[in-house]
Amino acid sequence: MSSDSLLSIRDVSVRFAGIVALDGVSFDVARGDICGLIGPNGAGKTTLFNCLSRLYTPAAGTIAFEGAPLLGVAAHKIAQLGIGRTFQNLALFRTMTVRQNILVGAHAHTKANFVSDALRLPSVRAEEARLAGEADELIALLDLGGVADVAVDSLTFATKKRVELARALAGKPKLLLLDEPAGGLNHDEVEQLRTLIGAIRDRLKLTVLLVEHHMNLVMRVSDKVVALDFGRKIADGTPCVVQNDPDVIRAYLGTAA
Amino acid sequence: AQNAPGITDTEIKIGQTMPYTGPVTAFSTLGKGEIAYFKMINDRGGINGRKINLISLDDGYAPPKTVEQTRRLVEQEGVAFMFSSIGTATNTAVQRYLNSAKVPQLYIGSGASKFGNYKEFPYTIGGIQGTFRAEARIYARYILKEKPNAKIAILYQNDDYGRDYVAGVKDILGDKYASMVKEATYEFTDATIDSQIVSLQGAGADALIVAATPKFAAQAIRKVYDISWKPMFFLSNVAIWVSTVLEPAGIEKAVGIISSVYVKDPTDTGWDNDPGMKEWKAWITKYMPEVDPRDQNYVNSYNEGMVLVQALKQAGNNLSRENILKEALNIKDMQLPMMLPGIKVNTSPTDYYPIEEMQMMRWSGKQWVRFGDLLSGSL
Amino acid sequence: MSALLELKGVNAAYGQSQVIYDLNLSVADGGITALLGANGAGKTTTLRTICNMRVRCSGTITFAGKKIDGLQTEDIVRRGIAHVPDGRGTFVHLTVEENLVLGAYSRRDRAAVAQDMERVFGYFPRLRERIAQQAGTLSGGEQQMLAIARALMLRPRLLLLDEPSFGLAPLIVQEIFRILNRINTEDGVSMLLVEQNANLALSLAHDVYLLETGRVVLNGPAAQVRNDDSARRAYLGY
Amino acid sequence: MTVRTEPVMAAALPKAWSAWQATGVVALLVIAVIVPFAVSSFHLLQLTMVVIYAIALLGLNILTGYNGQISLGHGAFYAVGAYTMAILIERAGMPYWSIVPVAGIVCFIVGFLFGLPALRLEGHYLALSTFALAVATPQLLKFHALEKWTGGVQGTFVPGFAAPLGLPLAWDQWLYLFSLGIAAALFFFAWNLLRGSTGIAITAIRDHPIAAKTMGINISLYKLLTFGVSAMYTGIAGALGALVAQFVSPDSFTIFLSLSLLVGAVIGGVASIFGAIFGALFIQFVPNFADQISKAVTWAVYGLFMITFMYLMPNGIAGFLKVIGERLRRRRNS
Amino acid sequence: MDTFLHQLLSGLANGGIYASIGLALVMIFQATHHINFAQGEQAMFSAYIALTLIQAGVPYWAAFLIALAFAFIAGVAIERVVVRQFDNAPVLAVVVVFLGMLFIINSLAGWLFTYNVQAFPSPFPVGLGSKFLSAHEIGMIGVTLVTLAVVYAFFRFTPLGLAMRAAAQNPEASRLVGIRVGWMLALGWGLAGAIGAVAAIMAAPIVYIEPNMMAGILLYGFAAALLGGINNPWGAAVGGFIVGVAENLAGAYVVGTELKLSVALVIIIVVLVTKPAGLFGRTVVTRV
Ligand SMILES: Nc1ncnc2c1ncn2[C@@H]1O[C@H](COP(=O)(O)OP(=O)(O)OP(=O)(O)O)[C@@H](O)[C@H]1O
Ligand SMILES: Nc1ncnc2c1ncn2[C@@H]1O[C@H](COP(=O)(O)OP(=O)(O)OP(=O)(O)O)[C@@H](O)[C@H]1O
Ligand SMILES: [Mg+2]
Ligand SMILES: [Mg+2]
């Protein structure tokens, strides 16, 4: 394992009744990198994310985050460790406003509890002000100002995806897991997203693991790409290498790409 | 003394709470009957020119609601006194309030023996019915006489009502209770009591006392019959009614069951020519033509109303709460038309139980046949 | 060719907020019409309006010469309009097979249904592998395949496709567009296609409409737009 | 299986008050304090019950409205609070005011413990399990082994007292003010809690538990604490209720009480703090009103009221007022 | 031993009652994803219809069928007239509506038929019975099993059953495949009403008929459905029998009758905590 490896995945396997979703997958993600994760539908990409979020427990294998084993950590402690994520099919808090969703994202960094909140102690007020400020910054960063106090339910898919990104960033992650952030975006918007991901990585100094079927985006934004097929890793390397890997072309890209 | 609130030259305003909603709505016919009874009294000119205005409010059989409604009646409506409110827990809930406010709580609709404790609660007078506890003593005495070595099973509803029967049997058996008796309870919310009957039979009992409300009494009668158990079977007189108990159970299945009675049974043809019964039937036909006259509560409401009217008549124009209470406790040897001949209503400042005698009876398959003397349930 | 679907002067709104303004649009019988536009332009809303799905609308919509505006969604569907909705509309608690059976719910030709089941399994072998799986546990792309397959199970005359490529791997996307093309040419199924990948949409479609904040700003044969660099750059950004 | 308990309307979390709202609340409080000197003792009793029910409903609302755990059995916690009051006064001779916090703590613990199995129960399963709890409550209270303390089927009296510090107030008046003070404090705490990060967290759990977990919320702990706090509120209400009724017995806490609480919470407005007050007014006054309309079909009238209210205001009275308020504001702005 | 066997069988008999009301709950749940608190009262009312007809001289089975038809139509009507209005209301609002209906139906029944218990005839020849199980109890268990088979087959083998489940889960997607969602819901209400009526008519000869007759039973019906799995007819039926037997045995031998309901409660909770979808229920997975 290289010293600057933030995340290291070793021989991870996940099975569901009769289905092998991940089959001995191993790879590393270096600190500061943007790592693309590609593969056909059902290859196990989201499943891998779910392992990193500790929503699934692998049948075999280990995962280390900053050198410490991840699989013994409870799911609700993951955010505190510094892993944030978005969801492929959206998992917003539907009755809340954009701002409130972002505030939930900051939960891992709040110290308030039932008692201090009920009494609204000075520390709570101070923290509230701090969180509000941070939320405002994210709202500005992701251009959500116009809808900040709108209930998320009435937003379009693409905006919702941005809210999810803001929410994930509110947790101040070291590792950001993005599951198909470009879903439903048109050509222009994908370009903007590409710049945004790069900017976020640079500004906030984080590492990104990116699942995406939009090759244009993945290949241009990633430092490294990992390809899965049927739960197995079939390629791993720079975008250029992976793009031209015959297995990847056969299983995933097809001829037209 | 000054007249009680709610009393004018033309009106006597009184209050009561009734379960018009909730689990025991069936009992609320008592209140309806009483309203109808006073309607008759009023039609005949009332009492000394005063009409009786009975305000009957729903308490859903929930004690906190009884408290609220009772206070509404006392403080808001300004009733002279409370009359014949139903329920043991409900009446208990307002007992302290009414006593400390010195508002008479007259002839309450419960056979619980605790409502006669005049030392602590001088304003609370029991209903015009035998107490459950006295009734149970009568059965226990009978068992001791007829079957001294009986193994007694008691099936009772797990509330004040049921527990009074247990207490009554204990009064008589004393130390022998533990060795002679096997208990089983049921809850009002149970679907059936079959399991309890099976257990009691399995315990080898040969006498059975059932202290149950009509529905469960009927189930008990049927189940005892169906499993060919033939104990000496005593049925609480809350549940002796042909239409709501014996017919549902199957009248042939009840043959031999023993119970007790202090009122006349309107379905017993033996009373057809009895003037008291005729009077009662005339009343119900005129004032409540739409109801099922076989409902036991209409007999009770008639009796309750009649005793109250007697007390009020005795009070004349001195209608202070103290005097009303005093006269309510001064009923002497009153023979009610719907009460068995010989059973008389008696109250006194040291006797808060208006009815203390009853007569035993046995179901013949066609009707209840009374037997033996009038018995007293006192110790 | 006559128009199979025709929208005339359609306005549509969610509650108070109007989204579509005076829309005139038609899909030729046997034709494929693409509906393009930026995020929030109202493409999805247009499809929902056609199916009367919780949108308030005015104007007239005719299908195969008959007025369908005002009809219940289910009755519109029963006339032969299948809709691959955005968000996929999976019956997440049912199995993959049950989802597909439901696709053919309004059909009466039971025997042909079994054949069609085989056919869609041919298109999407992955679904056959997952036939007894609870559909809600499928991967995102698998659910998208299921949504398309389910719509095909209706044997529709008109297919409304809301971003069919959504969440699908490049290879599958190519495959699906090939399939759509085949269904169009072989079975004569007409389509109204909403797609973010304009390039792909233009290669399949015969006609194209471009929406901007609820109004049509460009309309014409697809080939013409495809070849018109300035229009492409102005409206499609490439 | 997913059960949505939240109103369709979004953003139910309390926000900071506008000057208008603050003035309104202060005015309301002032009126509430003057009331005991202006109305008859019976009406005061009813108002005291309204205050108490409002506390209980707020407790239920925190759990069901904000956290999405449906309880059809909150009468059980109300009962525990009431019995704590009765037992500690009668058997331990503690002063009534000191029992209020004790009842709160006892109910918090009971609620927390009941929350443990509830963690594994979702939606309808939880609803029905709590329903069963409500049905079983009277029987548990009757249980003969506990009779020494509970008074068994007979129940237990709760005495009345004099107002403290020689205040020239009747017990009724004092009890009203006492309850009002407690209610004001509890409402204030709830309001703080729900608009703070705790409130956002418990609402997030309701909206999307998996996402909430990923955001770092300890779902089990928060659900348990919410259950505990909810039971605490309702239990404190029960303790005060025992002082008002001056009597507790198993029959006082039947399933009907639990159902009334749910009805109140929903009709007042789910996931709304002030909804609790409207709900309390409903369950206190509408049944009496129904009784006055018809003795023969009292319940039918009551049921009709419930359905009509829900039809006209599916998001409860509070939700309805909010919509009206927004419409007015929009009109003023335009 | 005799007593034990007897307790067991009488538990089965009670279980039959619980099972049949549990089936009605499964039906309504599958068809609407709601739990109808007024289910018991609807059933009770239908039983009164049957009783009224029988008392008027209509032969038993004819009255039975008419009552079922009545229950079906009443269920459809309730959905169309009342429940329909609350399509978009939050689930708790719907719960309150169900409670409102419970109060209304109960009250109307009391008003029309009084609150007194009445006998209800049994169609089964007395000769069938034995010491352990009465003729009616045997017949009732049989009827429960037949109902179960019908409900099971309906959901398992008919497209209508599938469409009904689909409509309850995802109305919008259902419309998109041409399912008439409104009618599915109404049909579900109708069928649940009819099954409930069977339950009440079968229970009535045992517990007698009165407006509150279903109060106790409904709780156990809930328990049955929860224990077995609310999305599985078999589960609900087996759950009913288990609850009936467990309640009897626990009451007779373990904790005494005073706490038997509490025991039932504890059993349910323990089962659900270990198997959240009930003993035989399908676990539904939510993934992200
Ligand atoms: N909870 C589950 N139960 C059963 N099967 C599952 C479950 N979760 C995932 N699977 C299966 O595991 C496989 C991998 O799913 P996953 O969601 O990881 O795919 P993916 O690579 O993210 O695909 P896509 O690009 O379509 O999103 C799929 O075939 C899916 O059906
Ligand atoms: N349910 C809704 N309630 C209110 N407004 C809505 C609703 N759904 C969509 N809108 C609004 O209607 C407008 C058009 O949305 P629509 O979903 O039709 O856009 P679209 O062209 O399909 O965009 P996308 O490419 O993101 O799918 C948007 O501004 C959106 O915010
Ligand atoms: Mg995925
Ligand atoms: Mg769209």
CB B283 within 8 A of CB B334: no
In this predicted structure, what is the pLDDT of residue D50? 96
User: For the CA atoms of chain A, what is the radius of gyration?
Assistant: 19
> In the structure encoding, which two tokens stand for residue B269, read together?
């043809």
C-alpha distances (whole Å) from A155 to each of A105, A158, B141, C39, E233 are 18, 8, 81, 11, 40
In A, which residues are within 8 Å of C126 by CB distance? 41-42
| Average of per-residue pLDDT values in chain D | 90
Contact C136 E287 (CB under 8 A): yes
A115 and A70 fall within a common domain: no
Contact E116 B214 (CB under 8 A): yes
Of B192, B247, B295, the CB nearest to E207: B192
Give the model confidence (pLDDT) of A153-197 as tens digits: 888 888 999 999 999 999 999 999 999 999 888 888 899 999 999
Q: Using the 3D structure, point to which of A172, A199, A226 is the last residue of a domain.
A: A172
Q: Cα(D205)–Cα(D225) distance, rounded to whole angstroms? A: 13
D268 backbone φψ class: left, alpha, beta (φ>0; ψ -120 to 50):
alpha
In C, which residues are within 8 Å of A43 by CB distance? 139
- Percent of chain A residues topping a pLDDT of 90: 87
Whose Cα sits closest to atom 25 in ligand 1? A41
Per-residue buried b or exposed e for A179-188, using 16+ beta carbons within 10 Å of the residue's own CB = bbbbbbbbee
CB contact C87 to E (< 8 Å) = no
**Ligand 2, CB cutoff 6 Å, lining residues:** A 154, 156-158, 184; C 14, 17, 19, 37, 39-45, 86
Instruction: Give the 3-state secondary structure of D122-140.
Output: CHHHHHHHHHHHHHHHHHH
CB contact C93 to E (< 8 Å) = yes
Q: How many Cβ atoms from other residues are within 10 Å of residue E265's Cβ? A: 21
CB contact C236 to A (< 8 Å) = yes
pLDDT band at E1 (very low <50, low <70, confident <90, very high): low
CA of residue A60 to ligand 1 center, whole Å: 17
In this predicted structure, what is the pLDDT of residue D1? 35
CA C92 to chain centre: 21
Of C138, C166, C170, the CB nearest to A252: C170
Q: Cα(B297)–Cα(B285) distance, rounded to whole angstroms? A: 15
Backbone angles phi, psi at B55, to 5 degrees: -95, 115
Number of structural domains chain A divides into: 2
Query: What chain B residue is nearest to E8 in terms of C-alpha separation?
Result: B195
Is A87 part of a structural domain of the chain?
Answer: no
CA of residue E172 to ligand 3 center, whole Å: 24
Has residue B153 got a pLDDT over 90? yes
In this predicted structure, what is the pLDDT of residue E130? 79
Chain B: give the shortest CA distance to residue E277, in Å: 26
Domains defined along chain C, listed by start:
3-80+158-236 (3.40.50.300), 92-155 (no CATH)
Is A117 part of a structural domain of the chain?
Answer: yes
In this predicted structure, what is the pLDDT of residue D326? 84
Has residue D6 got a pLDDT over 50? no
Terminal alpha carbon distance of chain C: 31
Closest ligand, as measured to the CA of E284: 1
In E, which residues are within 8 Å of A88 by CB distance? 288
CB contact B97 to D (< 8 Å) = yes
Instruction: Order across the sheet with C66-67: list the strands.
Output: C17-28, C3-14, C56-63, C66-67
Domain boundaries, chain D: 19-263
Closest ligand, as measured to the CA of C37: 2
What is the bridge-based pairing of β-strands A175-179 and A207-211? Answer: parallel
pLDDT band at C165 (very low <50, low <70, confident <90, very high): very high
Give the model confidence (pLDDT) of E39-56 as tens digits: 999 999 999 999 999 999
CA of residue A30 to ligand 1 center, whole Å: 26
> In the structure encoding, which two tokens stand for residue D135, read together?
């049905």
Closest ligand, as measured to the CA of A156: 2
In C, which residues are within 8 Å of E162 by CB distance? 94, 98, 101-102
A10 and A73 fall within a common domain: yes
Per-residue buried b or exposed e for C116-130, using 16+ beta carbons within 10 Å of the residue's own CB = bbeebbebbebbeeb
Give the model confidence (pLDDT) of B177-191 as tens digits: 999 999 999 988 888
In this predicted structure, what is the pLDDT of residue D2? 37
For CA atoms E252, E254, E255, E260, the dihedral sign is: negative
CB C210 within 8 A of CB C218: yes
Q: Which of B24, B175, B191, B129 is nearest to B340 (CA)?
A: B129
Beta bridge partners of D41: none
Q: Which chains touch B (3 or more CB pairs under 8 A)?
A: D, E
In A, which residues are within 8 Å of E287 by CB distance? 50
CA C32 to chain centre: 10
A177 and A71 fall within a common domain: yes
**Domain containing residue A183: CATH number:** 3.40.50.300
Instruction: Order across the sheet with A19-30: list the strands.
Output: A19-30, A5-16, A60-65, A68-69
* DSSP summary character for residue C134: B
Residue C184: what residue type? Answer: N
pLDDT band at E288 (very low <50, low <70, confident <90, very high): confident
Is A129 part of a structural domain of the chain?
Answer: yes
In this predicted structure, what is the pLDDT of residue D149? 84
pLDDT band at B294 (very low <50, low <70, confident <90, very high): confident
Using N-to-C axis directions, what is the helix angle for B214-226 and E181-207, rounded to 10°?
Answer: 70
- Of the residues C134, C139, C148, which should be mutated to test ligand 1's pocket, given the most ligand atoms within 8 Å of the CB? C139
Which structural domain, as residue segments, surrounds residue A39?
1-82+173-257
Q: Which chains touch E (3 or more CB pairs under 8 A)?
A: A, B, C, D
What is the bridge-based pairing of β-strands B357-363 and B258-261? Answer: antiparallel
Residue matched to tokens 């108490």? D52
Residue E251: what residue type? Answer: G
Determine the average pLDDT of the residues in B260-264: 92
For CA atoms B294, B297, B301, B303, the dihedral sign is: positive
In B, which residues are within 8 Å of D39 by CB distance? none
In B, which residues are within 8 Å of D306 by CB distance? none
Q: Cα(D146)–Cα(D150) distance, rounded to whole angstroms? A: 6
Tell me, yes or no, whether chains E and D touch by having 3 or more C-beta pairs under 8 A.
yes
* Ligand 2 atom closest to residue A157's alpha carbon, by position in its atom list: 26
CA of residue A109 to ligand 3 center, whole Å: 28
Contact D190 A118 (CB under 8 A): yes
> In the structure encoding, which two tokens stand for residue B199, read together?
């257990």
> In the structure encoding, which two tokens stand for residue B166, read together?
């247990």
Q: Using the 3D structure, point to which of A172, A195, A226 is the last residue of a domain.
A: A172
Q: Cα(B328)–Cα(B310) distance, rounded to whole angstroms? A: 8
A131 and A238 fall within a common domain: no
Average the pLDDT over each of A199-213, B286-300, D16-30, D190-204 and give the range with the smallest value. Answer: D16-30
Q: Cα(E10)–Cα(E134) distance, rounded to whole angstroms? A: 9
What is the bridge-based pairing of β-strands A175-179 and A83-85? Answer: parallel
pLDDT band at E87 (very low <50, low <70, confident <90, very high): confident
Has residue C183 got a pLDDT over 90? yes
Transcribe B197-241 into DSSP letters: HHHHHHTT-SEEEEE--HHHHHHHHHHHHHTT---EEEE-GGG--
Per-residue buried b or exposed e for D223-262, using 16+ beta carbons within 10 Å of the residue's own CB = bbbbbbbbbbbbbbbbbbbbbbbbbbbbbbbbbbbbbbbb
Best of A213, A218, A243 to disrupt the C interface by mutation (most C CBs within 10 Å)?
A213
Chain A: give the shortest CA distance to residue E173, in Å: 17
| Average of per-residue pLDDT values in chain A | 93
CB contact E149 to D (< 8 Å) = no
Dihedral angle of Cα D107, D108, D109, D111, to the nearest 10 degrees? 80
Rounded to two decimals, the ipTM of the complex is 0.93
B contact residues 208-227, partner E, Cβ 8 Å cutoff: 214-215, 218-219, 226-227
Give the model confidence (pLDDT) of C199-219 as tens digits: 889 999 999 999 999 999 989
Give the model confidence (pLDDT) of B57-103 as tens digits: 999 999 999 999 999 999 999 999 999 999 999 999 999 999 999 99
Dihedral angle of Cα C65, C68, C74, C80, to the nearest 10 degrees? 20
- What element of type H or E holds E257? none
Contacts of B268 (CB under 8 A, 6+ apart): B367, B368
Closest ligand, as measured to the CA of A185: 2
Determine the average pLDDT of the residues in B243-257: 92
Is A144 part of a structural domain of the chain?
Answer: yes
Determine the average pLDDT of the residues in A89-96: 93
Backbone angles phi, psi at E232, to 5 degrees: -140, 115
Q: Using the 3D structure, point to which of A138, A172, A206 is the last residue of a domain.
A: A172
Q: Which of B86, B68, B73, B67 is nearest to B29 (CA)?
A: B86
Transcribe B72-96 into DSSP letters: IIIIII--S-EE--B-HHHHHHHHH
pTM of the model: 0.94
CB E278 within 8 A of CB E267: no
Is A244 part of a structural domain of the chain?
Answer: yes
Give the model confidence (pLDDT) of B346-365 as tens digits: 999 999 999 989 999 999 99
CB B165 within 8 A of CB B132: yes
